[in-house]
Chains A and B, each alone.
Chain A
């Protein structure tokens, strides 16, 4: 997580490093010098500030996961356990701690993978994983 820290501080430098606000994988120095055609698809992100980009990532993650999780098994488990026990808030606390740990684990695994794989392989892997989640959600809806 140290490197992430460094990177995000690094990319908070204004104007000159603006290109770094792209959600991508280029090395900061490289991407701030060359503007590749591939960055056209993120023009709107380019024009905005670093802060906006952080919140974009936050809110897109929040919205998709929140919607995916509503009525899902974890929520139902929490719901049932808290309904059955005398102290629902203890159940909620336990559940919340578990959810914090699993998302932390997930992000750490993802971060670790991003260091291991080449940007291109990573993009493909992530795209496949996201499409797999899409398929999983659709099968949830249909069944």
Chain B
């Protein structure tokens, strides 16, 4: 086990991810949901699966992924969740 490589990849990814979109999403969703644990598991599985696919696919991943379409769908998803929150608390 190469501990140096393990530590290096941990620190790199940790720093890249601090304050990034998905962590902000975890803050927002974890704060607004009754099930913070569901948010934690959902976000962890999503992130680990995404990096797992990255390792599996290797360098080729960037070519065949419809990244823009996926991100657009994600953007719509976040917008819907935001609007639902505003909608529900406004009619109170």
Contact = CB atoms under 8 A, between A and B. Distances in A.
- B contact face: mostly helix, strand, loop, or mixed: helix
A113 B5 CA distance: 35
Contacts of B68: 141
Interface residues of A, number: 95
A108 to B, nearest CB: 7
A74 B46 contact: no
Contacts of A87: 2, 5
Interface string A34-49: 0011111110000000
Nearest to B26: A106
Which secondary structure dominates where chain A touches chain B?
Answer: helix
A4 B30 CA distance: 11
A127 B85 contact: yes
A33 interface: no
Given A11-B34, A90-B6, A103-B22, A134 B79 contact: yes
Interface residues of B, number: 80
A82 to B, nearest CB: 5
B28 A133 contact: yes
A63 B13 contact: no
Interface of B: 1-2, 5-14, 16-18, 20-55, 57-59, 61-62, 65, 67-68, 70-79, 81-89, 91-92
For the complex of A and B, the 5 pairs showing the least CB-CB separation, nearest first, are A106-B26, A61-B42, A110-B30, A94-B9, A110-B31
Interface of A: 1, 4, 7-8, 11, 20, 22-25, 36-42, 53-55, 57-83, 85, 87-111, 113-114, 119-120, 122-134, 136-138, 140-141
